[in-house]
């Protein structure tokens, strides 16, 4: 690589919201950690990647919607969805699904996932930091 080229630096996934059974249309009920608590060594990275491990019960073609709660804002709910971040498309009935490259604007932000898979599923929400570094 030429001098000055950048490379992706990724952290390790850590739990932001613990696994719980979640009905279709509902938000994952477990209380989330903020970015700084979930990934303390990576809280200042430029981006975060979010992933969810989904257990049996979903329908391929469904999705998980992700919302962000900023400091002082209300907790997202089906009647107050807060700041929409994106969807994780479900292409199988079980598996690990991701939403990569979400801007990490504040390490006190919390992310919430809403089940729109068409069924009751067990799911969680995990986070890792992503940033850029100069190549060696």
Q: 112 lies in a domain?
A: yes
Mean pLDDT score of the chain: 90
Tell which residue, 68, 17, 69, 12, has the closest CA to residue 41. Answer: 12
In a domain, 74, yes or no: yes
Report pLDDT digits (tens) over 85-113: 999 998 877 889 999 999 999 999 999 99
Instruction: Please state, for a pLDDT cut of 70, what percent of the chain lies above it.
Output: 96
- Give phi and psi for 38, each to the nearest 5: -70, -40
The enclosing domain of 22 has a CATH number of 2.60.120
Q: Is residue 6 part of a domain?
A: no
Q: 62 lies in a domain?
A: yes
Residue 7 in domain: no
Report the side by side order of strands in the sheet with 83-89. Answer: 83-89, 63-69, 110-116
On whether residue 4 sits in a domain, the answer given is no
For residue 1, the model assigns a pLDDT of 46
Residue-number span of the structural domain to which 55 is assigned: 16-130
> What's the pTM value of the predicted model, to 2 decimals?
0.89
**Residue 136, pLDDT score:** 67
State mean pLDDT over 60-81: 89
Place of tokens 């030429």: 2
126 domain residue, yes or no: yes
Count of structural domains, the chain: 1
């Amino acid at each position: 690589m030429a001098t000055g080229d950048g490379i992706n630096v990724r952290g390790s996934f850590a739990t932001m919201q613990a696994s719980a059974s979640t009905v279709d249309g509902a938000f994952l009920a477990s209380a989330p950690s903020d970015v700084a608590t979930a990934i303390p060594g990576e809280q200042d990275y430029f981006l975060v990647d979010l992933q969810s491990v989904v257990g049996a019960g979903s329908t391929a073609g469904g999705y998980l919607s992700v919302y962000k709660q900023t400091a002082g804002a209300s907790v997202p709910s089906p009647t107050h969805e807060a700041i929409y971040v994106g969807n994780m498309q479900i292409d199988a009935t079980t598996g690990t699904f991701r939403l990569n490259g979400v801007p990490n604007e504040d390490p006190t932000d919390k992310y919430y996932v809403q089940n729109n898979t068409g069924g009751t599923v067990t799911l969680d929400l995990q986070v890792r930091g992503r940033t850029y570094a100069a190549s060696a």
